[in-house]
Amino acid sequence: MIKSSENDEILYHIGISRKMVEGAEYAVLPGDPGRVRFLADKIGPARHLGTHREYTSYLAKLQGTPVLVSSTGMGGPSVSIGLEELARLGIKNFIRVGTTGSIQDNVELADLVINKGAVRLDGASRHYAPLEFPAVASFGLTRALIDAASELSLPYHVGISVSSDTFWPGQERYDSFTGYVPRAFQGTLEEWRILGALNYEMETATLFVAAQAMGLSAASVCGVIAKRTAGEKIAPPDVYKLASERFVDVLKLALAKLIIKKE
């Protein structure tokens, strides 16, 4: 049984309490704090709960069921901190949403990528399990995302992400300040591509491993805003907008399916 003091405790990093989330068991995790209100409003009637550091949180209602939307910032360490504290609030299911860069020719701009697993190029996940432990998504949440994308007839791909702690060297980008990529990462984009990985991003591996280690469920859906096989540039705003609209539509339908199934 949760004590009254625990219900009211404002957790140090995320700045919200168990009482404030009203029993929510699902959390949507964008990286960007600026994307939180947009996502929450799309899910349903929403209100701001708090903002502290990179963690901005809104509570939305979908078919009367509370769904928390909370940003995690960029990279694995901030994801792990958010996950630890959100779990203490009673959240059991986590869906990462965001943007990504594709590394396969057939994964086009504004397509959706639903990751079933991730290459652990991060460091934070190693604090939860050794490298031999796989970074894999939860089947139920992932199945809901796939079914939603299929039902909406949106272009989507299911596969493995490469989760890097860095945006430039770890993703073998040469348009950085120095233009230099350490030898350990030179040629890796082509290697991951040949092995069938679909995309680069920075959070999924940590989320999958930490969630599994805590007995929680996690999934990830991202919109493609860079096609690395064609160059380094980020797509223009209209592509970003379309990718965002697509992953929001999939997210909302998937959540609706999960909530109905639970009931």
Catalytic residue set: 13, 85, 173, 228
For 96, residues 6+ apart whose C-beta sits below 8 A from its C-beta are: 29, 30, 72, 203, 204, 207, 218, 219, 220, 221, 222
Distance CA 36, CA 161 (A): 23
Q: Length of the chain, please?
A: 263
Distance CA 224, CA 105 (A): 12
Partnered with residue 217 across adjacent β-strands are 93
Phi/psi of residue 179, nearest 5 degrees: 75, 5
Q: Which residue has the tokens 């970003």?
A: 240
Distance CA 190, CA 229 (A): 9
Distance CA 51, CA 187 (A): 40
